[in-house]
A = this chain, B = another copy of it.
Amino acid sequence: MSIKEDIPAIFLDKISPKGLDAIQKCKDFVNDYCLPADELYFKQMSDDPATRWKSTPEITEKLKVKARELGLWNMFLSNHYPEGPGFTNLEYGLMAQYLGRSFVAPEATNTNAPDTGNMELFAKFGTEYQKKKWLHPLLNGEIRSAFLMTEKGTSSSNALNISVSAKLNSKGNYVLNGVKWFASGAGDPRCAVWLVMCKTSDKSGKEAYKNHTVLVLDAKKALSSGKARLIRPLTVFGYDDAPHGHCEVMFDDYEVPTEDTPNAILASEGRGFELIQSRLGPGRIHHCMRLIGAGEFALLRANQRANHRIIFGKPMNQRESFINAFAQNKIDIQSCRLLVLNAAHKIDISNAKVAQQDIAMAKIETPRTILKILDWAIQVFGAEGVSQDVELARMYAHARTLRIADGPDEAHLNQLGRYHAKKYQEADQFFENYKNFPKL
């Protein structure tokens, strides 16, 4: 089947020949290499807590070599960035809907969160030193990174609540105190750099938006100091997602080494809030597109099962309730796809700020929809659906976090509603206009 059938009509003339070629290659790479490799990946993971976090499955590195050969590398870096391969957000979005089918595909193509958002930040705000030291190895897939934002017990979607403190000591070095958690990727033995959202001042009122700063820490040094510690991995449902991991990280008077101090701030002090905002737009779209891939994959799996499941004498794939649910799921995925790609295109022709409401719509609608579909596919499978024998429960657990990460549904919904409600204040005037009905 041509990939053109996977692309809604309205986008067809917006894809460059180069983009189309890469999308096709991406689909083939995922189907032929990544999906079959997923099983191997989990086999190569140790179950033993003693070794589970100390190495990574070797299949990943092999896939990375293959992906680079195919030119499927860093596609997320849209053509706004000179460091990237020159695709639009729309084109990458269409690739991501294949990447999302497979567990290993994002890392295999160096397009996995949170590295993507971190690379964007370094590319946009990094000094030459920071680029050389962190961005280039990240772009090459040699190291990995984490973004330490969320804190326990607060609504971290409101960055003003962030409390991990970084104070300058007499040596002019920042000293960090406090606890972060759900630092995704911090468990990986290759994780070399942490971006840490810290509170560096304590102003109030409107100035409060300048209280936070993103610090760039050498993760290995921090851990070897003993004053920054990976306390434990958090689980998502029952998954620890090793070796990537979602870690709780404690800073206990951790002092940034003097030699690192000159390069320890991203952008400048007090711009944490701004960096956070800038980081989120395209990232949300990436998550959504991968989810759409997960949804399509779930439909494939469900269909495979329905082909063989006989229910009271009739194959499931001929039962009306299956067929109708299947159709509804196709509609729902298509709706999300259009929302997401429309937002991606809007970023391409303007920027993430202009596209904010479109991004919010996609961000709210997609995870919820895909969860519904994954849940349905689990039910199609029966007991097998919740087990490790199919990908669905794992995909579900991951998708569930995306109703929370980067702002919970409710926060986006409320923001969106207030935005539109403001515009609709004009409703009064609109209906007032009736009275001016001209004589005809």
Residues on A facing B (Cβ under 8 Å) = 1, 8-12, 14, 31-33, 35-37, 39-40, 47-50, 59, 62-63, 65-66, 150, 152-158, 161, 181-182, 234-240, 246, 299-301, 303-304, 306-312, 317, 319-328, 330-331, 334-336, 338-339, 341-343, 345-346, 349-350, 355, 358, 361, 364-365, 378-379, 382-389, 393-394, 396-397, 400-401, 403-405, 408-411, 413-414, 416-418, 420-421, 423-428, 430-431, 433-438, 440
Contacts and interface: CB of A to CB of B under 8 A. Distances in A.
Given A36-B433, A386-B401, A326 B420 contact: yes
Given A9-B342, A379-B403, A379-B410, 16 more contacts: A8-B342, A10-B342, A31-B433, A48-B48, A48-B49, A153-B384, A155-B382, A235-B386, A236-B387, A300-B424, A300-B431, A322-B421, A323-B418, A335-B336, A338-B338, A338-B342
Contacts of A378: 400
Nearest to A239: B238
Contacts of A414: 320, 323-324, 327
B440 A386 contact: no
Given A238-B239, A334-B361, A420-B330, A309 B9 contact: no
B327 A417 contact: yes
B236 A386 contact: yes
A253 to B, nearest CB: 25
A35 B438 CA distance: 12
B388 A234 contact: yes
Given A303-B424, A383-B150, A386-B237, A438 B32 contact: yes
